[in-house]
Amino acid sequence: MAAPGSHLELVSCAIVLLTLFVTIATSADIFLDWHVSIDFNLKPVSADQQVITINGLFPGPLINATTNDNVHINVFNGLDEPLLFTWNGIQQRLNSWQDGVSGTNCPIQPGSSWTYDFQMKDQIGTFFYFPSINFHKAGGGFGPIRINNRPVISVPFPKPAAEYDLLIGDWYNSSYKDIRSRLDTVDDGISPSWMLINGKGPYMNNFSKSYETINVTQGKTYLLRISNVGTAWSFNFKIQNHQMVLVETEGSYVNQIQLDSLDVHVGQSYSVIVTANQIDADYYIVASPKMIVSTNSNTLIGVAVLHYENSTTPANGPIPIGPDPFDLQFSINQAKSIRWNLTTGAARPNPQGTFNVTNVTISENFILQASTGTINGSSRYTVNNVSYLTPDTPLKLADYFSNGSGVFELDAYSKNTSNVNAVSGVFVASALDKGWLEIVLKNEFETIDSWHLDGYNFFVVGYGEGEWRPESRFTYNLFDPVSRSTVQVFPRGWSAVYVYTDNPGMWNLRSQNLQNWYLGEELYVRVYDPDPNPAKENPPPDNLLLCGKYQPSAPPPSPSLSPPPPPPPNGPSSNAYNPPRTSRSLIAVITTAICYLFIGLL
Ligand SMILES: *[C@@H]1O[C@H](CO)[C@@H](O)[C@H](O)[C@H]1NC(C)=O
Ligand SMILES: *[C@@H]1O[C@H](CO)[C@@H](O)[C@H](O)[C@H]1NC(C)=O
Ligand SMILES: *[C@@H]1O[C@H](CO)[C@@H](O)[C@H](O)[C@H]1NC(C)=O
Ligand SMILES: *[C@@H]1O[C@H](CO)[C@@H](O)[C@H](O)[C@H]1NC(C)=O
Ligand SMILES: *[C@@H]1O[C@H](CO)[C@@H](O)[C@H](O)[C@H]1NC(C)=O
Ligand SMILES: *[C@@H]1O[C@H](CO)[C@@H](O)[C@H](O)[C@H]1NC(C)=O
Ligand SMILES: *[C@@H]1O[C@H](CO)[C@@H](O)[C@H](O)[C@H]1NC(C)=O
Ligand SMILES: *[C@@H]1O[C@H](CO)[C@@H](O)[C@H](O)[C@H]1NC(C)=O
Ligand SMILES: *[C@@H]1O[C@H](CO)[C@@H](O)[C@H](O)[C@H]1NC(C)=O
Ligand SMILES: *[C@@H]1O[C@H](CO)[C@@H](O)[C@H](O)[C@H]1NC(C)=O
Ligand SMILES: *[C@@H]1O[C@H](CO)[C@@H](O)[C@H](O)[C@H]1NC(C)=O
Ligand SMILES: *[C@@H]1O[C@H](CO)[C@@H](O)[C@H](O)[C@H]1NC(C)=O
């Protein structure tokens, strides 16, 4: 052991400082200003409807970041109702305050602004954002997120000539407000009528105002970043006469596989490599819905055009049909073939596989059954027979200020069995900090469900048909399961994931299918670390919005768990609340002081 003040301490001190400087030097700040409004004239499918745009754009602008960048997005809500954005797959490390769902944030009121501040901490990959409340997603407001690798990382494929974002999703003839009010009153689900690609209708359809064109040059290779931004339908993606190589999903590099077509379920993202190796011409890009009867001539299939630079030939021939949309075996086999590349680096240079599930000990099991039920006369979606009831006060605020009291009761509902009666309730499940959690998601619907966990990537260890049983665990892939944030659950089947709960916070676990989510198929997972050290979990942001129990006029009580107590809010004109400044600079000061101390000891 080295004595205090020795060179060893100085060296480690220098390393600490260096790491700090490198972190500062390599993470950029990205400032964005978003004006969110309604456009009545876009009419992507000729229908009169309200489309939610950001800075006039539909889809919204790209967030083009690099690992560890800090993003500051000032959102002005020009809609006539409250608004929140969530960042699908962005982990918000130690920072569920920025997650932008009803359980973490008070909504941004019409005519006002709020700034999200968060870091793309230790992530790479393809993601998207969307408006999370009030059924807004069915009206647009979504857009692409790319997190590029830092230059020090070697990426497991050659640099493409260009990258394209393809936001694909189902779309309704009517406005999101109409569908929402039907769900609120009439009680019947509504089926979408279209599949849009980057906000545009299908090529060669009289009702499409325009269609999407992806431009390529013969001989070059491209990266397509595909996300399913829809509300209900999984789709099968393919490009006429071209194959693709699957390389990434939601921040994980996968073992590269060559595909004719790729299934993308609601809320999922993938990147694929496509080489323009055909003769100069135009080719169809097709997204056809699964579990739906669709024909070439109807509007349910999304069609765009892959245009070769020197092509004079329009896309022709029949629209290429992928696998039978009801062929679930195709989908299950493809899902099982998507494996994690254990040897490549991703956000960090060390191989992805160094953190793996091969020998983990599960500390807790969640068994969650999605279903429907009639509650108080209306039909609702449920998880373990509990339909989520959204409280006026975000759970995260209630947790911070009053240990949840008056807003939710932790673990009021079972995490592993269905409630005997269908009820509505504020379902908040506890999870031990830094434990391994197994979550089994069961689907009794005839449709494909899709589940997402905020704050984490989970390891998808198994898919199955029929009833899940403890013996099903013997079929799990514990060698190279892919790590991602959204997993499909096949009709009358189950999916199982493992999560390492190392990100304290209040995290939404939900169906990505918008009608299911809107009607109650969600819960929150509270991952709790009693250590109040802000290095463990971030304190509320300076601009925290108050609502529900915590009105701007009445100062919130002292946080129940995290000293020091915050000062009172700004005053009645602002609904922001100002906690003490956080300690990034404090850490730097302390580190420097320690170094001086060592130097002084020499
Ligand atoms: C995104 O950022 C990367 C890295 O800074 C840059 O090389 C690229 O040109 C940017 N792309 C777009 C579309 O802005
Ligand atoms: C959607 O609108 C188009 C154009 O108005 C119409 O042809 C089509 O029948 C509508 N589809 C549904 C399901 O209402
Ligand atoms: C589109 O419009 C043209 C001209 O009005 C018509 O001949 C054609 O049948 C229409 N196609 C479809 C798919 O409705
Ligand atoms: C492809 O080129 C056309 C014509 O220049 C342009 O309108 C279109 O926006 C381009 N597509 C993309 C995805 O950039
Ligand atoms: C496209 O045509 C132009 C003009 O004829 C030519 O310069 C270019 O090389 C062609 N590009 C390809 C990829 O063939
Ligand atoms: C996994 O990544 C490594 C390292 O980048 C690469 O050499 C290898 O080809 C990849 N494996 C597969 C199956 O894609
Ligand atoms: C999983 O991690 C352990 C220890 O961290 C390592 O020894 C093992 O090789 C890893 N497994 C794989 C499949 O990479
Ligand atoms: C995992 O556990 C198995 C059986 O207990 C053991 O044989 C193996 O060495 C372990 N592997 C690692 C990487 O710890
Ligand atoms: C907070 O609530 C939990 C139960 O939900 C309880 O176990 C805990 O003791 C409470 N903590 C405080 C500080 O009141
Ligand atoms: C369900 O969870 C409860 C409470 O954590 C536990 O006591 C019980 O053993 C679990 N049951 C099953 C079947 O896992
Ligand atoms: C859910 O509740 C309903 C009654 O509301 C009951 O009939 C049904 O059996 C319950 N489901 C389960 C799985 O317990
Ligand atoms: C039905 O509504 C009443 C009044 O809003 C509420 O008290 C009750 O808990 C609800 N029932 C269920 C099963 O949620």
Q: Kindly tell me if the per-residue pLDDT of 19 is higher than 70.
A: no
Burial of 39 (0-12, 13-18, 19+ CB in 10 A): middle
pLDDT at 555: 64
Which atom of ligand 3 sits closest to the CA of residue 204?
A: 13
Q: Kindly tell me if the per-residue pLDDT of 569 is higher than 80.
A: no
Residue 371, CA distances (Å) to 210, 223, 593 in order: 39, 38, 58
129-158 burial code (b ≥16 CB/10 A, e <16)? bbbbbbbbbbbbbbbbbbbbbbeebebbee
| Number of CB atoms found within 10 A of residue 546's CB | 23
Cis peptide before 318 (omega within 30 of 0): no
Cis peptide before 59 (omega within 30 of 0): yes
pLDDT at 531: 77
- Over the stretch 514-562, which tens digit does the pLDDT of each residue have? 999 999 999 999 999 877 776 789 999 999 999 999 988 766 677 765 4
Residue 82, CA distances (Å) to 63, 107, 116 in order: 23, 6, 16
Partner residues linked to 364 by β-bridges: 437
Which residue's CA is the nearest one to ligand 3's atom 12? 206
pLDDT-derived band at 594 (thresholds 50, 70, 90) equals: very low
Mean of pLDDT over the chain: 89
The model carries a pTM of: 0.90
- Over the stretch 280-332, which tens digit does the pLDDT of each residue have? 999 999 999 999 987 655 789 999 999 999 999 999 999 998 999 999 999 99
Q: Kindly tell me if the per-residue pLDDT of 602 is higher than 50.
A: no
Q: Tell me the mean pLDDT in the region 92-114.
A: 98
Query: Alpha-carbon distance 432 to 501, whole Å?
Result: 7
- Tokens 């434990």 appear where? 435
Q: What length does the chain have?
A: 602
* Triad 515, 231, 544: Cα angle to 5°: 80
Query: Alpha-carbon distance 270 to 251, whole Å?
Result: 9
Ligand 1 binding pocket (C-beta < 6 A) is: 64, 66, 148
Please give the order of strands across the beta sheet that includes 261-264: 213-216, 302-308, 282-289, 235-239, 261-264
According to DSSP, residue 240 is labeled T
Lowest mean pLDDT among 13-17, 136-140, 450-454, 570-574: 570-574
Q: Hey, which bits of 384-474 come out as E strands? A: 386-388, 423-425, 428-432, 436-443, 449-453, 458-465
Torsion of CA 419, 448, 395, 141, to 10 degrees: -160
- With contact defined as beta carbons under 8 Å apart, do 342 and 351 qualify? yes
Which atom of ligand 9 sits closest to the CA of residue 411?
A: 5
pLDDT-derived band at 187 (thresholds 50, 70, 90) equals: low
- Tokens 């409280």 appear where? 391
pLDDT > 70 in the chain, percent: 87
According to DSSP, residue 201 is labeled -
Question: Which is it for the CA torsion 458, 247, 266, 125, positive or negative?
Answer: positive
Which atom of ligand 7 sits closest to the CA of residue 342?
A: 14
pLDDT at 5: 38
Which residue's CA is the nearest one to ligand 4's atom 7? 213
The segment(s) of the chain belonging to CATH 2.60.40.420 are 352-528
- Over the stretch 149-170, which tens digit does the pLDDT of each residue have? 999 999 999 999 999 999 999 9
Best mutation site among 354, 355, 357, 358 for ligand 8, i.e. most ligand atoms within 8 A of its Cβ?
358
For 584, the enclosing helix (H) or strand (E) is: helix 584-601
- State whether the beta carbon of 365 lies less than 6 angstroms from ligand 10: yes
pLDDT at 533: 75
- Over the stretch 429-485, which tens digit does the pLDDT of each residue have? 999 999 999 999 999 999 999 999 999 999 999 999 999 999 999 999 999 999 999
Residue type at 29 in one-letter notation: D
pLDDT-derived band at 62 (thresholds 50, 70, 90) equals: very high
Give 450-476 as a 3 state SS string: EEEECCCCEEEEEEEECCCCHHHHHHC
- Over the stretch 219-258, which tens digit does the pLDDT of each residue have? 999 999 999 999 999 999 999 999 999 999 999 999 999 9
According to DSSP, residue 57 is labeled B
φ/ψ (deg, to 5) at 353: -70, -5
Ligand nearest to the CA of 353: 7
Lowest mean pLDDT among 105-119, 202-216, 323-337, 499-513: 202-216
Partner residues linked to 148 by β-bridges: 66
Tokens (6 digits) for 164: 């394209």
- State whether the beta carbon of 358 lies less than 6 angstroms from ligand 8: yes
Ligand nearest to the CA of 207: 2
| Number of CB atoms found within 10 A of residue 451's CB | 29
Q: Hey, which bits of 240-394 come out as E strands? A: 244-249, 252-259, 261-264, 269-275, 282-289, 302-308, 364-375, 378-383, 386-388
- State whether the beta carbon of 207 lies less than 6 angstroms from ligand 2: yes
Residue 421, CA distances (Å) to 98, 417, 440 in order: 34, 12, 21
Query: Alpha-carbon distance 320 to 447, whole Å?
Result: 24
Q: Which CATH superfamily is domain 352-528 in?
A: Cupredoxins -  blue copper proteins (2.60.40.420)
Best mutation site among 64, 67, 120, 150 for ligand 1, i.e. most ligand atoms within 8 A of its Cβ?
64
Please give the order of strands across the beta sheet that includes 51-54: 51-54, 29-39, 70-77, 113-119
- With contact defined as beta carbons under 8 Å apart, do 17 and 23 qualify? no
- Over the stretch 364-419, which tens digit does the pLDDT of each residue have? 999 999 999 999 999 999 999 999 999 999 999 999 999 999 999 999 999 999 99
